Structure 1
Amino acid sequence: MTSVLKGGFGSPNGAPLLATNSGTEFVNTVCPLKGALDGYDNTIPCSKQKIHVPQNFCDAMAIREEVYGEQGVPLEAEFDEDDARSWHWVAYASVATHTTHPPKALRRSDSGNTPADDARRASATATRVPVATIRLIPPPHGPNKYVDEDKTDKHADADPPGEKQEAKHPPEPYIKLGRLAVLAPYRSLGLAKLLVNAALDYAMMNPDLIYRSPSPTALEMAQMLGNNKEREITWQGLVMIHAQANLQSMWEKHGFHEELRNDDGEVEIPAEPHWIEEGIEHVGMWKRLSVEKRKRLSLSSLDSS
């Protein structure tokens, strides 16, 4: 887990948290927990799990349970099989509890305190509260494992029916962003943008963590079969989201589109039909990141080794 400290966004109502500090925001990155979530019971809240769950993941789940619960998503649909293999980002707000500062009229001008001293003292009187989260699911992504004749995925960012996914989604690996949730009092503070950028920046800087590089043998075989085959076994920066239709414009601001085109204007991925989950219209959207090109094995380099 890594932490990033950024400039403050203040209190939910826009007022400063403390007279000497406009507030701070923290963003924690929770790497895939894998076996640490074995035994998680999706019928009860994260805070009541019988197994030990890392606190930062519990913070993410608490936000999701509240936000998606407001939308009528059943609790048992909130935690799924992808959570253990995914990255999660959690944004925290420093919320003032009480202050020990005397009124300005009683402060001595010769106290010697610097703004940094005041900020440190202010942070000691604040509580860190989880307020927003997002999830990044790495490849692979098969047909929707939740949708069949008897069972449907009840979550608000659910996949479309499996037959549509098989027909429309590309063979190359892609990552999926989802479970973006911001508590109601904090929804006008740019936290969604903060988290989307944090997730995409992490993916661009750590492609080998997002998707394991193929073996030299597999890469050699793919290169012999052509560029399309190589793309099927390496992550080329492709990202997708399943957005609620009313949030489509927000995702477009982040560079996502229903129809993905390359630099020549050619359609790489056509737009897929919208679908309805639990009465909510959804849309699939795509974006390609500029992933750092690492030195790859080529046939010539293999021959010369």
Structure 2
Amino acid sequence: MPQSDYRVAMLPPPGNIVAPRGFPADPRPAGAPQLFLDAMDVRLKVFCDEQKCALEPELDEDDPRSVHWVVYYTGGPGPEQPVSVIRIVPPPHGPHPNGFHDPHEEPYVKLGRVATMPEFRRRGLTRMLSEAAFRWLVANREQVGGGWKDLVLTHAQVDVEKMYGRMGFVTDDKLGRWDEEGIEHLGMWKRLDAVP
């Protein structure tokens, strides 16, 4: 399908409206922006329904402070539909999942909650979203804050390590591998010095 069949949309950090009573929180919070609800629909279908991850932690403490991106499919006969999502979590971050912590580690943003509906995979939508997010980050460094200077981390599922490698991410062996919801993950870094 041509790229003209898709629209990329971004939501700045939504704040506590997505978890007005704290955590755990309703993954489809009343009053949340529609783009956030669309992103959560994709995340719940991919992570909870398909991959059998727990529902309760899907909306987490990073969601209110993250920037969210959604790809909408506009090429069908009906209304546009959300089909692919990511979020960018600004610094600061706690220790890495394997417990590694370097107090002098350069501030980074974290690319996460990457999910695409099954029938829309292998169409370059993760790359499309990531590149849109990276362009926004480079153009809006002051909004990211925390001393951030172009470093991105992703906690990738091992099965998609090669996909991230093609996007310029490099696996960091010191972060090791760890289990999240029964799925093996690893850490990968990218420097945004040449954003398409």
Per the alignment, residue 54 of structure 1 pairs with: 33
Which of 64, 69, 72 matches 1:89? Answer: 69
Does structure 2 retain, via aligned residues, the 8 Å contact 1:205–1:291? no
> Quick one: distance in 1 between partners of 2:142 and 2:190?
19
Shift of 1:205: 1.3
Match of 2:169?
A: 256
Pair 1:134-2:86 in alignment:
yes
TM-score, reference length from structure 1: 0.58
Cα pair 2:19 2:25 within 8 Å, conserved: no
- Contact 1:95/1:129 (<8 A) preserved: no
**One-letter code aligned to 1:289:** L
Q: Would you say the 8 A contact 2:35–2:70 is kept in 1?
A: yes
For the Cα contact (< 8 Å) 1:42–1:78, is it kept in 2?
no
1:67 maps to which residue? 46
Aligned-pair Cα RMSD in Å: 2.3
CA distance 1:39–1:239, change in 2 (3 Å): same
CA apart distance, 1:275: 1.7
CA distance in structure 1 between the partners assigned to 2:131 and 2:174 by the alignment: 24
1:27 counterpart letter in structure 2 = V
Tell me, yes or no, if structure 1 residue 160 matches structure 2 residue 92.
Answer: no
Distance 1:92 1:197 in 2: 16
Identity %: 38
Structure 1 unaligned spans of 5+? 1-6, 10-22, 98-125, 144-158, 213-233, 260-269, 293-305
| Correspondent of 1:240 among 153, 156, 159 | 153
> What is the CA distance between 1:37 and its match in structure 2?
2.2
**Larger radius of gyration between Structure 1 and Structure 2:** 1
Q: 2:16 aligned with 1:32, yes or no?
A: no
Taking a change above 3 Å as real, the CA distance of residues 45 and 38 of structure 1, as seen in their structure-2 partners, is closer
Query: Which runs of no fewer than 5 residues in structure 2 stay unpaired?
Result: none
In the alignment, what sits opposite 1:287? 190
Structure 1 CA distance for aligned equivalents of residues 16 and 179 of structure 2: 33
Q: Report deviation, 1:26.
A: 0.8
CA shift for structure 1 position 170: 4.9
RCO higher in 1 or 2 (8 Å CA, sep ≥ 6)? 2
Deviation at 1:42, TM superposition (A): 4.6
By how many angstroms is 1:78 displaced? Answer: 0.6
**Residues 24 and 56 of structure 2 are in contact (CA less than 8 Å); yes or no, is this contact kept in structure 1?**
yes
Change in 2 beyond 3 A, CA 1:96/1:288: closer
**Number of residues paired by the alignment?**
193
Q: Write the distance in 1 (CA, Å) between the matches of 2:46 and 2:19.
A: 24
Q: Distance in 2 between matches of 1:93 and 1:72?
A: 25
- Corresponding residue SS for 2:74: strand
SS of the equivalent of 2:170 reads: coil
Specify the alignment match of 1:271 in structure 2: 174
Instruction: Provide TM-score, normalisation by structure 2.
Output: 0.89
Whole-Å separation in 2 of the counterparts to 1:252 and 1:52 = 38
Q: Take 2:133 and 2:62, find their aligned partners in 1: how far apart are those partners?
A: 16
Distance 2:194 2:163 in 1: 23
Corresponding residue of 1:115: none
Q: Please, which of 118, 125, 129 is the counterpart of residue 184 of structure 1? A: 118
User: Relative to total residues, which structure has the larger strand share, 1 or 2?
Assistant: 2
Q: Distance in 2 between matches of 1:253 and 1:24?
A: 24
Q: CA offsets per residue over residues 66-117 of structure 1, 9 Å max, x none?
A: 00011111111110010000000000012533xxxxxxxxxxxxxxxxxxxx
Is 1:76–2:53 an aligned residue pair?
Answer: no
Paired with 1:279 and 1:96, the residues of 2 have a C-alpha distance of 35
Counterpart of 2:175 in 1: which secondary structure? coil
